[in-house]
Amino acid sequence: MDTRQARFVLQSWRASGADADDPQFSVALREMKRDAELTEWFEHEQALDHAIGRKLGDFPAPDQLRATILAEHFALPTPAPRRRWTPLALAAALAFLAALAGVWYLEMKPKEGFAACRAQMMENLSSLRLDFASANLTEVQRWLFANREISGYSVPSGLQKLPSIGCKIWTWRGKPVALICFSLKDGHAVHLFVIPRSALVDPPGSEPQFARQADWMTGSWTDRDFVYVVARRGQEGSLKELLGPKA
Amino acid sequence: MADLDFERIVNKHYRSLYRFAYSLTRNQGDASDLTQQTCYLWATRGHQLRDESKLKAWLLTTLYREFLGRHRHETRFQHIEVTAATYELPHVLPRMVEQLDASALMDALTLVDEVYRVPLLLFYAEDMSYKEMAEMLDVPTGTIMSRLARGKAQLRQLLAIESVKRADKFASSPAEVSPEKEPHGHQTS
């Protein structure tokens, strides 16, 4: 191996020294020990690689990226563990799907109104990308106002005590629907949808109505100009607890 | 996968993923989205990975494939393979690198051809070996060594240009730089 070949090999040597046991480098390292100029080159190379590596390691990620990733994860349905399908289970599943198809066929007419809106919002949670992330509810509300002039709604007192995660704006029948996400102590998220009452033909009553929607337990009510939907994973009791006197 | 595991993994790797994504996309929004998507793919498919020691490589590989999938329509850089040729590397001192801020260095790195930039970032920021990179990128180890050599040469040329620009800036606005600040107090644009 000549000097040029040794340089070619040694430039792949990691400055951390993690390649010490790699035999690929041993011939080149032996060559280096015999050649003072090569040694000097290698030392400079290592110092430069170390400086570049350290500096690149300092490159920052956006402040809210981590919180946003975690918020999205906790908003998504947990993937089910893989199971082995026995023939019996497969037959049961097919029978269930057939029954489901029957129900679906009977309800084929176009969906409108609050139930459809709520279903759509819950579906939106399955591919949630927050527009803005902040642990400060005031900042979140400020952002909602600045972007779509969403204001005049009230956040339930039980949710005000929780740190916010961020928000998202969707549209329903041309009206902006705000979603504000909060973080629970157990690391999961709870979601508050704020929907203009004028966007719905059949808004719910003033007392919370609880309903299960796929993985989510929801509580919905109307208060003045807005319809509110709160959603979290779990049972009705846990949602009632969260909403406090409102429920 | 337990949520705590997910949180632990995000805490440990999101910066690396973002750094890699940024070096590919050169854009904060796209890099964030790519990082989020990678974490999502881990949450939904991560159970396929049995060996946790390969987690980082799995995440970086997934992110890279996702990037390639999104940019399939874009022009690919020509793959130029080199052997043990002499590289005319500009002389860049470690001190010059220390004087840059991390964003300026990353900006320089993003100007390196993608085919060289990917192994370069993995080498410098993720401390990946040429063998690990070869496995991840599915190319021979010799190719990785060549790409590292080419990438280093390009990066050094860019850093040399950057240092000349910095020197020009000092020369054109001497009043902005106090003598004691000279080595460290100047930010590149």
Q: Cα A151 to chain center, whole Å?
A: 25
Residue type at A172?
Answer: W
Question: Does residue A164 or residue A112 have the better pLDDT?
Answer: A164
Establish, for the pair of chains A and B, how many residue pairs have beta carbons separated by less than 8 Å: 123
- Give the least confident one: A15-19, A174-178, B65-69: A15-19
Q: What is the CA radius of gyration of chain A?
A: 29
pLDDT higher than threshold 80 for residue A102: no
Does B18 contact chain A (CB < 8 Å)?
A: yes
* Residue A186, phi then psi, degrees to nearest 5: -80, 5
pLDDT tens for each residue of A152-165: 999 998 899 888 88
| Chain A neighbors of B148, CB-CB under 8 A | 11-12
Contact B105 A60 (CB under 8 A): no
Residue A229 in tokens: 């939907």
Task: Give the separation between CA A133 and CA A75, rounded to whole angstroms.
Answer: 14
Predicted TM-score of the model (pTM): 0.59
Nearest residue on chain B to A16, alpha-carbon basis: B127
pLDDT at A109 over 50: no
User: Mutating which of A12, A58, A215 best tests the B interface, going by the most B Cβ atoms within 10 A?
Assistant: A12
Q: Is B28 on the interface with A (CB under 8 A)?
A: yes
Q: What is the mean pLDDT of residues A162-170?
A: 88
pLDDT at position A105: 55
What is the per-residue pLDDT across B106-154, written as a single tens digit (0 to 9) for each? 999 999 998 999 999 999 999 999 999 999 998 999 999 999 999 999 9
CB B64 within 8 A of CB B51: no
Q: Which residues of B touch A61 (CB under 8 A)?
A: 14-15, 18-19, 35
A215 and B CB contact within 8 Å: no
What is the structure's pLDDT at A76?
56
What does the pLDDT read at residue B172? 60
- Nearest chain A residue (CA) to B86: A4
Can you name the residues that pair with A210 across neighbouring β-strands?
A: A219
Q: How confident is the model over A129-133, as a mean pLDDT? A: 81
Q: By the CB < 8 Å criterion, does B36 face chain A? A: yes
B6 to chain A: which residues are within 8 Å by CB?
A: 70, 73
CA separation for the pair A199, B8 (Å, rounded): 41
CB atoms within 10 A of CB B65: 13
pLDDT at A84 over 50: no
What number of other Cβ atoms are within 10 A of residue A16's Cβ? 13
- In angstroms, the CA A40 to CA B80 distance is 29
Give CA–CA dist B50/A238, Å, rounded: 35
CB contact under 8 A, A68 and B130: no
Token code pair at residue A182: 């909060």
How far is Cα A24 from Cα A14, in angstroms, rounded to an integer? Answer: 13
3-state secondary structure of A209: strand
pLDDT tens profile B66-110: 999 887 655 444 443 333 333 455 577 888 888 888 999 999 999
H helices then E strands: how many in chain B?
8, 0
Read off φ and ψ for residue A187, nearest 5 degrees: 90, -10
Q: A8, A9, A74: best mutation site toward chain B, by most B Cβ within 10 Å?
A: A8
How far, in Å, CA of B69 to CA of A206, rounded? Answer: 48
Tell me how crowded residue A77 is: count the other CB atoms within 10 A of its CB.
12
Given CB atoms, is B137 within the 8 Å cutoff of chain A?
no
Residue among A15, A6, A83, A12 at smallest CA distance from A48: A15
What is the pLDDT at residue A110? Answer: 40
Q: Other CB atoms closer than 10 Å to residue A52's CB: what's the count?
A: 27
Q: Look at residues B93, B99, B110, B186 and name the one whose alpha carbon lies nearest to residue B151.
A: B110
Contact with chain B for residue A96, Cβ under 8 A: no
Is it the case that residue A82 has pLDDT exceeding 50?
no
B80 CB neighbour count, 10 Å cutoff: 11
Which residues contact residue B187 at a Cβ distance below 8 angstroms, ignoring those fewer than 6 apart?
B101, B104
Tell me which of A181 and B170 has the higher pLDDT.
A181
User: How big is chain B, counted in residues?
Assistant: 189
Mean local confidence (pLDDT), B58-70: 91
CB of B100 within 8 Å of a chain A CB? The answer is yes
Of the listed ranges A13-17, A201-205, A238-242, B185-189, the one predicted with least confidence? B185-189
State the distance between the two ends of chain B, measured CA to CA, in whole angstroms.
44
In B26-113, which ranges are continuous DSSP H helix? 28-45, 55-70, 94-99, 102-110
Mean pLDDT lowest for which of A225-234, B23-32, B58-67, B164-173? B164-173
Strand pairing of A175-183 and A189-196? antiparallel
pLDDT digits (tens, 9 = 90+) for A212-245: 887 789 999 999 999 999 998 877 777 888 887 6
- Which residues, numbered 173 to 202 in chain A, qualify as contacts with chain B under a Cβ-Cβ cut-off of 8 Å? 187-188
Tell me what ipTM this predicted complex has: 0.78
With a pLDDT cut of 90, the percent of chain B lying above it is 42
For residue A94, pLDDT beyond 90: no
- pLDDT of B179 > 50? The answer is no
Asked if B47 lies within 8 A of A60 by C-beta distance, the reply is: no
